[in-house]
């Protein structure tokens, strides 16, 4: 699979949605602040809409990935969440540079 192809972009989108869904689920289970809760509920609705756009096969892959994630030790789940949040903070240019570096490393 080539980096930058439609399939790889779609898989990356599925993975990012999975991590966002996992993060939201973990946050939902851990906090009950009402103002925060309302904003999370709105995001959760947005996530459901995104999941609805996936094919049944992609939804099944997201479900399997989520179950795999839940089986990880707490430290590993936290590491994944931390990396995801750091990725979200990057600018589009920084993300592109990292993608290109990753592509070069995996040739």
Helix axes of 6-30 and 74-89: crossing angle, nearest 10 degrees: 120
Arithmetic mean of pLDDT, 95-103: 88
Q: Sign (positive/negative) of CA torsion 59, 62, 67, 68?
A: positive
User: How high is the pLDDT of residue 66?
Assistant: 86
- pLDDT at res. 42: 59
pLDDT tens by residue, 44-54: 566 667 777 88
Look-up of token digits 């925060």? 36
Nearest-5° angle of CA 38, CA 68, CA 49?
35
Count of domains in the chain?
1
Cα 91 to the chain's mean position, in Å? 17
Question: What does the chain come to in residues?
Answer: 107
Q: Is 1 a member of any domain?
A: no
Enclosing domain of residue 47: 6-105
Residue 85 lies in a domain: yes
Of the candidates 12, 23, 1, 10, the residue with the CA atom closest to the CA atom of residue 95: 12
pTM of the model: 0.49
19-75 pLDDT tens trace: 767 666 555 455 444 455 555 555 556 666 777 788 888 888 888 888 888 898 999
């Amino acid at each position: 699979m080539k980096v930058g192809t439609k399939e790889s972009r779609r898989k990356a989108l599925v993975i990012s949605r999975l991590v966002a869904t996992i993060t939201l689920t973990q946050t939902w289970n851990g906090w009950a602040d009402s103002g925060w809760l309302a904003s999370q509920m709105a995001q959760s609705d947005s996530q459901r809409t995104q999941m609805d756009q996936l094919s049944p096969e992609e939804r099944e892959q997201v479900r399997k990935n989520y179950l795999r994630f839940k089986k990880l030790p707490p430290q590993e789940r936290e590491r994944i969440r931390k990396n995801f949040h750091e990725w979200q903070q990057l600018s589009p240019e920084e993300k592109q540079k990292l993608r290109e570096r990753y592509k070069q490393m995996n040739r």
